[in-house]
Structure 1
Amino acid sequence: MARTASTPRTLTTLAALSSSVLAACGGGSSASPPPPPPPPPPAVITRADASRFLAQASMGATADQISRVQAVGYAAWIDEQMAMAADTSRWDWLVAKGYNDIANKNSEAGFDSCAWRKLLTSPDTLRQRVTFALSEIVVAAIDGLVGGGWKAFSAAAYLDLLETHAFGNYRTLLQAISMSAPMGEYLTFRGNQKYNATTGANPDENYAREVMQLFSIGLLKLNADGTPITVGGKVQETYTQDDISGLARVFTGWNYDLAGGDTSTPDFKKRPMAMTASKHELGEKTFLGQTIPANTDGATSLTLALDVIFANANVAPFIGKQLIQRLVCSNPSTAYVSRVSAVFNNDGTGVKGNLAAVIKAILLDDEARNADHAGNANFAKLREPILRMTAWARAFGVNSASDAWVVGNTTDSSTRLGQSPLRSPSVFNFFRPGYVPPNTSIASASLVAPEFQITNESSVVGYLNFMQKLIGTGVGGTSDVKADYSAMLPLADNGQSLLDELNVLLAAGRVADASIATMKTALDTMPSGTDATRLNRIYAAILLVMATPEFIVQK
């Protein structure tokens, strides 16, 4: 990490603090039955309470959002966010910037910018958080969007699709992704053809496998609380190879909807795929104990197949638990999962799969809101690198003067974040929901810690070095992606006041007093009294707080 002559003790302190970044994270896994409904929330929501809530429900806390949560309460804030209209789509931003010029057909130009712009600044912060969560469950990645060119638009269309359905119904989302051109590209069923008796070629089974394994029911049959069902002490698989082969017949005949056969503009990447009847398998399609009759057309077959999948009892605990993991904690109790599964199966009006109701249940559950859980050493999740960066950006009103948003690809773990939007290395996401870091106390406690799969010595240092530059100079020096620290300037000469505010804003007030005292000692060695020196103190203080385990581990 780079050193400056003005802040040697600060950065020495930072190095000491960052050494404990691989802190344990997880949560309880009680097998007891669900407790009674949670008590009403406290009449007074502190700033720290509001900041903790926003760490789970947004792309990052801001002073204004903290005040709003305090004023209206958790539930009303969620309702306001869900009612908020989405701002300019990623697709429309790319068009407005001229990236639909034919010269860009074979490039990814513009994608990272349109993705980061939404994550860092869109007012519908809850929708962006849920969209990001869904992008890590129903995964497609730009590197695998192959066919027809226009990769930036294909990736933008996929994220826009997830955003559109973030508060909709999960069954509708499954239909949308199963007909989307980007998913057809990524999981290779675009252009999939029926069995060829001459060559012996069978339909591509890629999507049929993953739509079950990753997007809906998982590998093992589950109880409503997320625990595996066992028979005679043995876990039970949800599907077999025969089920994959039978379902693969459904996903034949789908290809781009090329209106007029034109690929000189990217519009066909946004349209749902169309059916080529002659390439669709019309024989019986048997899977998961159900059979779609012979001579059923392609569109009807797809709808019937997804109805069968969605009716499976596994969908609620399998998807519900992953949403809890993406928003609140890595190891929710079985009671928490059971309560969320119940809402997934019935939103109170008899509707299954209502994501708005599920998200609200996750965020308002006693296990998420009760501050006592924050004191449980096993109740937590590692804040993934993208969310660390967005926490900083949101807290300090990051903007792009040029509206270019040149953050770029942040995948490099040694020099950047080790993670970048829609750039997962595989359909299994950046990390598995059941990942256990080996030879750790987390493993010894039989807990999981998904985000640790992309955490190592290189990524820890790379993150800090990247954020040090970003905090101080932004991307591209003074020209792009810069923060506004004006609200911090009046506090900067007083190290204690500055750190106390940053502690609440970034870490929900959880940074230990001893750590704050150590950081204050370091800040007190730095010059003060002018705006230039105040800014240097602000830069150092933010980086120190963002290096603490209390910030990096969300509780």
Structure 2
Amino acid sequence: MLLLLGLVVALRTVAPTPDYAGPYPGASERANANGATNAPGMAPAPRVVSDTVASDAEAARFLAQATFGPTLEDIARLRQIGYSAWINEQVGFPVSSQLTFMKNAAQRAGTGDSVRRDWRLDAWFVNALGGKDPIKPTVLHRDQLRQRVAFALSEIFVVSDATSDLLGNAPHGMTHYYDTLARDAFGNFRTLLEDVTLHPVMGIYLSMMQNQKPDPVNNIRPDENYAREVLQLFSVGLVRLNADGTPLLDANQQPIPAYDQDTVKGFAHVFTGWTFNGCQAQGYFDCYYYDSSAPAWVTPMENQAAYHASAQAKQLLNYTGVSLPGGVLAAGGSGRGDLDAALDNIFRHPNVGPFIGRQLIQRLVTSNPSPAYVGRVAAAFNDNGQGVRGDLRAVVTAVLMDVEARDPASQPEHFGKVREPILRLTHLWRALNAKSKSGFLDEFWTLDGNLGQSPMYASSVFNFFSPRYSPIGELSQLQLAAPELQLATDYMLPANESYLMRKIFDAYVGNPGGIGDDEIAINLSRDLALATNPGALIDRYNTLLLSGQMSAPMRQVLLERLNGMPANTTAAKRERVQEALYLIVNSPEYVVQK
């Protein structure tokens, strides 16, 4: 619990900026439904930041937001070419594919198309850690930004094999779904929305697959599950928003719902008739469920007209500028035509830019962005500068290059975010060049219990944590979100610490006790030379792990601790390095990314 208290302190001890005030971002800056607006409620103009990376610490801070953790090599590369060129380079790198890794692993193992569920996690870590592919060494995984954005998207467009036996036995489909997020990470949001909607994994997870038109005789009504979540979680949210993400208020200063139950029913009718591709000849049911290597698992679903609710008019989203009169989709459309119209209706809703933009800011940069920051990112969503709506490359660039993300002097009070437990692990591993001998890892069944997270393994569609979560106490009193602290339970906090301790003190290259071929091990050899100079060792880890933001008191405590340890043997030097790593990665100053 001391760590939790330290996290609260770290979250609130950030220097305030003079032009931002108020316990809730935008509390006194909202527009209302009667048309009265003020400047903060509008989409602000972009604020330019320098493209030059002034220091290693500044580079590390950017990379902590844009990758799975800085490395010395990435810091040098970013400083050499600058922010814009680095982003362009990342966008141009080939997409690292989890499905390809799984197929290569099966080929190497001689199992044909038969793949193991735990290889899905191996594939995720191979792409997250980057570098040479352990199975195909000629392949380099360099697309850190793409993979980091894909992970952020996987926490918005959630699917999970934690609670679904069908998806637990469908690693081809699960990895292809994640590859879809990676492929679309710099594409258009409209494409992403359609690819997610028609993916068979999503079809099974939120029961859109084999959703049927109304049949009163057989007591069949269209399933509303996907209709609810695509609106609430994937696109517009529950309430109407201003351009800066603050709630639009009615005459009584109350938030205005973005849609009602009739809208949910309308979309539920749209999402009928869809099933596995290739099922036309075999009927509507029980097609490919138990053949996880079938092409249908990696192919968009198809519509069968006999099961689509074409006879009903459908109430969709109704908003200013909507192309459908009153937001109503006329009866008589085909399954494909109705889907196109419905996704267009969602995509053009004014909420989408601020709703998705704010969540990407939270996942990459800060939990409580100012309304102005959200507004600038939403403006990039609405128009990438060339008249294109929904350009995610422009959105990601706006998130990372905003003045609030890059310039500490422009950051509001309470800037920063708690690092997700799994990102603490990848950060450590990347900083210490961690690898396994085999290219696989033995962590599939241990991550969730020790970190509370495993990729695409959330307990529900609401992700591992809510973007609005605020712990009871000072943060909730200040109306501050700290989503990741939803994982900070009295069980999980010590579990995190113990797990990272084992990864530092046991899982290292050269451990005389031995490590398994499938265990990812950190490499301490690079930093052993600094063990006799604790100040230099701390400075290196201050850059790599804390982006140069370590406080003077923390540095003094570390110096006293390390100087009090012997360093007269190789083992003693190693223990100094391990102690420094252990204390830093479990400190509140590190756990809160600023």
The two structures share one fold, judged by TM-score above 0.5 = yes
Query: Aligned partners of 2:65, 2:89: CA distance in 1, in Å?
Result: 16
CA contact (8 A) 2:310 2:331 kept: yes
Q: 2:529 aligns with which of 486, 490, 509?
A: 490
1:472 aligns with 2:505: yes
Offset at residue 269 of structure 1 (A): 1.1
Offset at residue 150 of structure 1 (A): 3.4
Query: Aligned partners of 2:102, 2:550: CA distance in 1, in Å?
Result: 40
1:90 matched to which residue of 2?
98
CA contact (8 A) 2:161 2:168 kept: no
What residue ranges of structure 1 are gaps of 5+ in the alignment?
1-14
What residue ranges of structure 2 are gaps of 5+ in the alignment?
15-19, 30-38, 131-140, 282-286, 318-325, 509-513
1:25 matched to which residue of 2?
11
2:591 matched to which residue of 1?
552
Offset at residue 119 of structure 1 (A): 1.9
Offset at residue 486 of structure 1 (A): 2.4
CA contact (8 A) 1:142 1:423 kept: yes
Query: Aligned partners of 2:273, 2:417: CA distance in 1, in Å?
Result: 42
Structure 1 letter corresponding to 2:154: S
Query: Aligned partners of 1:520, 1:16: CA distance in 2, in Å?
Result: 21
Offset at residue 478 of structure 1 (A): 4.8
Query: Aligned partners of 1:17, 1:240: CA distance in 2, in Å?
Result: 42
Query: Aligned partners of 2:80, 2:59: CA distance in 1, in Å?
Result: 10
The aligned runs of 1:78-477 (5 Å cut-off) are 78-87=87-96, 89-98=97-106, 101=111, 108-121=117-130, 122-147=141-166, 150-232=169-251, 233-258=253-278, 264=291, 265-283=293-311, 284-288=313-317, 289-373=326-410, 378-413=414-449, 416-439=450-473, 441-474=474-507, 477=515
CA contact (8 A) 2:52 2:79 kept: no
Query: Aligned partners of 1:227, 1:130: CA distance in 2, in Å?
Result: 24
What RMSD in Å do the two structures reach over aligned CA positions?
2.4
CA contact (8 A) 2:51 2:82 kept: no
CA contact (8 A) 2:357 2:377 kept: yes
CA contact (8 A) 1:396 1:485 kept: yes
Query: Aligned partners of 2:526, 2:168: CA distance in 1, in Å?
Result: 45
Query: Between the two proteins, what is the percent identity of the paired residues?
Result: 38
1:5 matched to which residue of 2?
none
Offset at residue 19 of structure 1 (A): 6.3
Offset at residue 396 of structure 1 (A): 1.3
Offset at residue 355 of structure 1 (A): 0.4
Query: Aligned partners of 2:105, 2:543: CA distance in 1, in Å?
Result: 37
2:558 matched to which residue of 1?
519
Q: 1:533 to 1:258 in 2, by over 3 A?
A: farther
Q: Deviations over 1:281-330 (max 9, x none)?
A: 11222222323332211111111110011111110111011111111101
Q: 1:128 to 1:409 in 2, by over 3 A?
A: farther
Query: Aligned partners of 2:46, 2:352: CA distance in 1, in Å?
Result: 23
Q: Which has the higher contact order (CA 8 A, sep 6+)?
A: 1
Query: Aligned partners of 2:93, 2:270: CA distance in 1, in Å?
Result: 37
Query: Aligned partners of 2:182, 2:230: CA distance in 1, in Å?
Result: 19
Structure 1 letter corresponding to 2:395: V
Question: TM-score, normalized by length of structure 1?
Answer: 0.91
Q: Deviations over 1:108-149 (max 9, x none)?
A: 342222222222224211111100100011111112445487
Query: Aligned partners of 2:504, 2:250: CA distance in 1, in Å?
Result: 55
